[in-house]
Structure 1
Amino acid sequence: MLGLLLRESGETLIDQIVRSVAARIDDRLLRGGARMPSIRAFAGSHGVSAFTVVAAYDKLVATGYLESRRGAGFFVRERPAMALNAADLTMGGGMFGATGAGGASRGAQSGFDAKPIDVVWLVRNMFRQMPHQQMPGSGVLPPDWLDGPTIANALRAVSRQNPTLLLSYGVPQGFLPLRQQLQHKLAELEIAAAPEQIITTVGVTQALDLVAREFSRPGDTIFVDDPAWFLMFGSFAALGAKVVGIPRLGDGPDIARLAELAALHKPKLYIINSVLHNPSSTSLSAAKAFQVLRLAEEHDFIIVEDDIYCDLHPGSAVQPATRLSALDQLQRVIYLSGFSKTMAANLRVGFIATSPERAERLADRKMLSTLTTSDIGERVVYKVLSEGSYRKHADRLRARLDGIRAKTLRQMERVGLKVDGSPSAGMFVWADAGCDTNVLTERAMAHNLLLAPGSLFSPKQLPSTRMRLNVAAMQEPAVWRFLERELS
């Protein structure tokens, strides 16, 4: 019933069983009143001891998920229905309908209720703290790839500073020494930005929200790549914006389609990954970059360049990497980036670089929204960047990804996945499974594996045979066994 139990994950078998069963009950995949397998049957089917099953069932009873009926066994406890507002489920006026992409889901096993696969579903499951080996659809690197000791040392160093510095607000624009450090980082990318042109944010997520709120109004059109990072679709729709997808090709957007839609919709913003696009890991060509800037000038829209995967790219000296911000020097382009993918997701430190006038407006918008961001987190990031170890850490991450990418791509082909071209950098692969990946995702979840179906990466949310896979999270044999079995 639960699929893979990992004995080397650092989580006890008891806790893995408790977490997995509780998640299925929370998601209404196990109905109230359903009888759980007997202790002997569960132990036999999952290769664990009866003692382990008894301890797990007892924990589930203690936390209200199961009830024990003397002489009859264990049953799922009836739980009150979740009071969700319909607007919460649709995320902005029907863009993410209650049936998800491709219609109503079907239970993967007998006794499972239908559960729609939509953006909320994916994000919720990404935050279940599942072992990374079971999350090939995740958007982050495994924790053991990151430099925890350096973060811990920086945090200790910050805590030894004058305590009064940590007990009050920072400034709306962000910790000044960090912004000065970011000025040097941007200069390496050939982007000139003074500290007063940089505003720190709670990751790129807040950066996008601040930009959309400041430079668009309800009823305006915002362009996004199609496919693209799914979370912003619902966020923009909730602001009353019309979200329109621009087909993304191997070297950037479909320019003819961009020109046609720009003339039709007169967008306010166009959000784009120039380097290591999510989910395909492709990058913008120089020719396409010039054409995008020309169209932005012609149709008077602002380009928002999301460069969150910047440090996973080896640099233009090794591979071509054209950034719109470097060509435009922040006149019509707003640059976003951060450190959640390569340093620590929990620090939530991102930043915006833009023209002085827009920077002032965005700092005021940030102040009205959240006052300031976490000065402590920004001091930690500054400490890591300023001491010079981060550059070597980024080099190690790229080398580690390079060391597994080719082998992983070959194995994808062997199990029946197709990849258009071979990404040479980054963590993602945009693979074609040849079947509805919503259905495949449902089946994977029944085996405690989290996939990211392609329908979620398009603002249209239509059924798709594509899915995003994270090569760093594709090292567990059970993932390959599942894919081979399902795709054969």
Structure 2
Amino acid sequence: MTNTVPPRKLSNGQLPSAPQPLSRDSDTSLVEQIVRSIESRISDRLLRSGARMPSIRQFADSHSVSRFTVVEAYDRLVAKGCLESRRGSGFYVRERSPLLAERGSNAASDKQPQLIDVVWLVRNMHQQAPNKKMPGSGMFPSEWLDADLIANALRSISRQNPAQLLSYGIPQGFLPLRQQLQLKMAELEIAATPEQFVTTTGVTQALDLVARHFTQPGDVILVDDPSWFLMFASFAALGAKVVGVPRLADGPDMAKLAELVALHKPKLYVLVSVLHNPTSTSLSAAKAFQILKLAEEHDFMIVEDDIYCDMHPGSAIQPATRIAALDQLNRVIYMGGFSKTLSPNLRSGFIATSLELAQHFADRKMLTNLTSAEVGERVVYKILSEGHYRKHLDRLRNKLDSVRDRTIRQMERIGMTVDISTPAGIFVWADTGHDTNVMAEKALAEGFLLAPGALFSPSQLPSSRMRINVAAMSDPAIWRFLEQECGK
């Protein structure tokens, strides 16, 4: 697959060096922001070998920074082998030598197109591009979140007893946070003691701990299809066979699930019951009972990923059934976290399970990671325990409600089909009518990150579906791009 949309040019014919605005509020210096941005553009082949960079004066004027800042950034890029300085002419993207190409992590990228796979999406999500240019991401834009809420909690923690920040926490997690999680779970009608929780570095680590405990190479793990893409690669790296279960609007296709269970004898079935990623649909009570019955009959564990739990308005407004509430953590391992709603940087997640398994997971966590960062756990505890979190969630949900319907109508207007729509959640699972792998590659050349449907299936087959983050659709250029592509 090759790029069909050439890199955009400036009015003077030069290629853009830093399409995203620089942030003076960032902890990263302006020099380093410029360096990272240009490195990223070169890595993604949006700045080609031999391309002339804007002059120091032009760059400084267009980005409202000093010329000294640009000089230092360009000098660093020269030292890194990314740019070369030509006396009397300016700075140019340096052609990589064969030796550097062999040693570089993107050695084949100049000869082969980038493979649109899970690693491609995750890598580009972490290029520090503005969130508003990432409608394919699973995060809220930074301006939707509350940086002051986290900063105030950090300041308060640092004043209490700074010495507490200098030692390891305990592998099972910060006890006051686990006590707070007990209260949170009780609201979902799931009974658990603090000893039944293990804190993790996000749900990603939680899934890894569970998979490592239950599976050996060759074992089968069932997942929803479509579902969260990162666990496909993670489970496969452990030697497990990942098999998809077709996901319908109210949960899995039960006939297909029963067939796959009988055929493969899985060790685990991983699913999202509430506000499923990528469709934002939720599991019906009837199917929750059927899944639990199947698990008991065929002796497999259910892993219930409830990371989007707090985006749901509550069962009083919209039905929401969790299998863990039916099973009370006997055959169900429940996991959640706060990275989506508070900050991805906190990487705060947890597992709730039986006492025996909680100890096993804490031991495994200790052997692989010692402990999770207690500073982040203390921040989450403070926000939860002081009542700030509920107000923050109300603001997030209200803002989502204010853009969701408008975004869906606009998608339909430009030719996308939205046949799966729910009154809550951050995602829309839309049909574009075109190969979204091709669209994603074109979008990346324009500076936008899309999430093609192929990535959300274990089969990775081409798809016309696309996951759209309704919170990240404010840039008019995204709509112009999608209208152009969907109208073909």
Q: Give the TM-score, by structure 2 length.
A: 0.87
Equivalent residue letter for 1:36: R
Q: What secondary structure does 2:101 align onto?
A: coil
Q: What secondary structure does 2:351 align onto?
A: strand
Q: Which of 73, 80, 92 matches 1:75?
A: 92
Corresponding residue for 2:83? 66
Corresponding residue for 2:282? 283
> After superposition, where does 1:50-449 map in structure 2 within 5 Å?
59-60=73-74, 62-64=76-78, 65-70=82-87, 74-79=91-96, 80-81=100-101, 83=103, 114-449=113-448
Q: What secondary structure does 2:467 align onto?
A: strand
Q: What secondary structure does 2:274 align onto?
A: coil
Equivalent residue letter for 2:218: G
Change (3 A) 1:25 1:159: same
**Partner Cα separation in structure 2 for residue 17 and residue 59 of structure 1:** 6
**Partner Cα separation in structure 2 for residue 165 and residue 283 of structure 1:** 41
Q: Which of 18, 24, 31 matches 2:41?
A: 24
Q: What secondary structure does 1:160 align onto?
A: helix
Q: CA deviation at 1:305?
A: 0.3
Change (3 A) 1:158 1:84: same
Change (3 A) 1:155 1:245: same
**Partner Cα separation in structure 2 for residue 71 and residue 403 of structure 1:** 54
Change (3 A) 1:470 1:78: same
Q: What secondary structure does 1:81 align onto?
A: helix
Q: What secondary structure does 1:423 align onto?
A: coil
Q: Contact 1:28–1:112 (CA<8 Å) still a contact in 2? A: no
Q: CA deviation at 1:380?
A: 1.1
Q: Which of 15, 34, 52 matches 1:36?
A: 52
Output one character per residue of 1:228-279: Cα deviation in whole Å (capped at 9) or x when no partner: 1111111111111111111111111111111111111100001100000011
Q: What secondary structure does 1:219 align onto?
A: coil
Output one character per residue of 1:73-113: Cα deviation in whole Å (capped at 9) or x when no partner: 65321331264799xx9xxxxxxxx9xxxxxxxx9xxx996
**Partner Cα separation in structure 1 for residue 156 and residue 429 of structure 2:** 41
Moved more, 180-189 or 129-138: 129-138
Q: What secondary structure does 1:245 align onto?
A: strand
Output one character per residue of 1:396-416: Cα deviation in whole Å (capped at 9) or x when no partner: 110110011000000011111
Q: Contact 1:22–1:60 (CA<8 Å) still a contact in 2? A: no
The runs of 5 or more residues in structure 2 that have no matched partner are 1-6, 10-15
**Partner Cα separation in structure 2 for residue 112 and residue 59 of structure 1:** 28
Q: What secondary structure does 2:184 align onto?
A: helix
Q: CA deviation at 1:51?
A: 10
Change (3 A) 1:380 1:17: closer
Q: CA deviation at 1:39?
A: 6.3
Equivalent residue letter for 2:416: L
**Partner Cα separation in structure 1 for residue 31 and residue 476 of structure 2:** 22
The runs of 5 or more residues in structure 1 that have no matched partner are 90-97, 99-106
Change (3 A) 1:224 1:388: same
Change (3 A) 1:481 1:55: farther
Corresponding residue for 2:470? 471
Change (3 A) 1:156 1:447: same
Change (3 A) 1:19 1:367: closer
Q: What secondary structure does 1:418 align onto?
A: coil
Q: CA deviation at 1:485?
A: 1.5
Q: What secondary structure does 1:431 align onto?
A: strand
**Partner Cα separation in structure 2 for residue 152 and residue 421 of structure 1:** 38
Change (3 A) 1:55 1:366: closer
| C-alpha RMSD of matched pairs (Å) | 3.0
Q: CA deviation at 1:463?
A: 0.7
Q: What secondary structure does 2:261 align onto?
A: helix
**Partner Cα separation in structure 2 for residue 416 and residue 55 of structure 1:** 45
Q: CA deviation at 1:434?
A: 0.8
Equivalent residue letter for 2:283: L
Q: CA deviation at 1:354?
A: 0.6
Q: What secondary structure does 1:217 align onto?
A: coil
Equivalent residue letter for 1:165: Q
Q: Contact 1:18–1:59 (CA<8 Å) still a contact in 2? A: yes
**Partner Cα separation in structure 2 for residue 178 and residue 133 of structure 1:** 32
Q: Contact 1:221–1:266 (CA<8 Å) still a contact in 2? A: yes
Change (3 A) 1:16 1:410: farther
Q: Contact 2:136–2:451 (CA<8 Å) still a contact in 1? A: yes
Change (3 A) 1:202 1:50: closer
Q: CA deviation at 1:329?
A: 0.7
Corresponding residue for 1:104? none
**Partner Cα separation in structure 2 for residue 49 and residue 331 of structure 1:** 57
Output one character per residue of 1:170-226: Cα deviation in whole Å (capped at 9) or x when no partner: 111111111111000000000000111111111101100000011111111111111
Change (3 A) 1:445 1:18: farther
Change (3 A) 1:53 1:243: farther
Change (3 A) 1:482 1:324: same
Q: Contact 1:250–1:283 (CA<8 Å) still a contact in 2? A: yes
**Equivalent pairs, count:** 463
Equivalent residue letter for 1:271: V
Q: What secondary structure does 2:336 align onto?
A: strand
Q: What secondary structure does 2:359 align onto?
A: helix
**Partner Cα separation in structure 2 for residue 152 and residue 38 of structure 1:** 37
**Partner Cα separation in structure 1 for residue 123 and residue 358 of structure 2:** 33
**Partner Cα separation in structure 2 for residue 277 and residue 481 of structure 1:** 28
Moved more, 55-64 or 163-172: 55-64
Determine what percentage of the aligned residue pairs are the same residue: 65
**Partner Cα separation in structure 2 for residue 439 and residue 266 of structure 1:** 36
Q: Give the TM-score, by structure 1 length.
A: 0.87
Corresponding residue for 1:92? none
Equivalent residue letter for 1:211: V
